[in-house]
Amino acid sequence: DAKTTQPTSMDCAEGRAANLPCNHSTISGNEYVYWYRQIHSQGPQYIIHGLKNNETNEMASLIITEDRKSSTLILPHATLRDTAVYYCIVLPSGGGADGLTFGKGTHLIIQP
Amino acid sequence: EPEVTQTPSHQVTQMGQEVILRCVPISNHLYFYWYRQILGQKVEFLVSFYNNEISEKSEIFDDQFSVERPDGSNFTLKIRSTKLEDSAMYFCASRTGLAGYNEQFFGPGTRLTVL
């Protein structure tokens, strides 16, 4: 699986958009970009995933660059409850029974 | 909204004892997983289970660990002889069988403390 690189931590003001970057320069053509988050002491939570087109759901938007070597997760109006560790994970499209490999992620702190 | 449940929420045991952690995955899901998270560290994959057999396991999942789906609803993780280093939060997860769609739903976890 492709390796990902994320900043260790970020701050964002409440109500503003939080933009979390991820580099995945070795991603291959059949690999998706997934984002999960873990709020303190809870189980990880799926946020969004994409292949090459931008995606949006009720939680977030995902912007993937044209060369697919990087992506940005956008939380449009961050709230205090969005304080969490965010993980960018690259997975092959076949899915199967692949376990998720969590890196260190980005600790996003939403400031009041 | 359907959710993954886990019992107990906290288990305390003595070193060398056997423990069984229980999970009820979402009912129409076909893939089941166990992960662990040692305090202050990252979430680590242990094992995946599909079609009543182990599909994939990590180096952590040695002979002391086993998984079972004893009936149509439960999915269990057994640690045969617990060690101090098994103290961690254990998360169960499940997902549908849709190809190319790896949205895993995680339970709230069981905190295992080995004394």
Q: pLDDT tens digit string along B60-105?
A: 999 999 999 988 789 999 999 999 999 999 999 999 877 667 889 9
Q: Please list every residue in chain A whose beta carbon sits closer than 8 Å to the beta carbon of residue B56.
A: 97-99
- Strand-strand pairing, B88-95 and B31-37: antiparallel
List Cβ neighbours of A24 (8 Å cut-off, separation of 6 or more).
A2, A3, A4, A5, A33, A68, A69, A70, A71, A88, A90
Residue of A32, A58, A98 to mutate, interface with B, max B Cβ within 10 Å:
A98
- Are B45 and A101 in contact (CB < 8 Å)? yes
Q: Does B45 contact chain A (CB < 8 Å)?
A: yes
Given A38, A49, A91, which is nearest B43 (Cβ)? A38
DSSP 8-state secondary structure symbol assigned to residue A5: B
Q: For residue range A25-45, what is the model confidence (pLDDT) as tens digits?
A: 999 888 899 999 999 889 999
**How far is the C-alpha of A2 from the C-alpha of B44, rounded, in Å?**
17
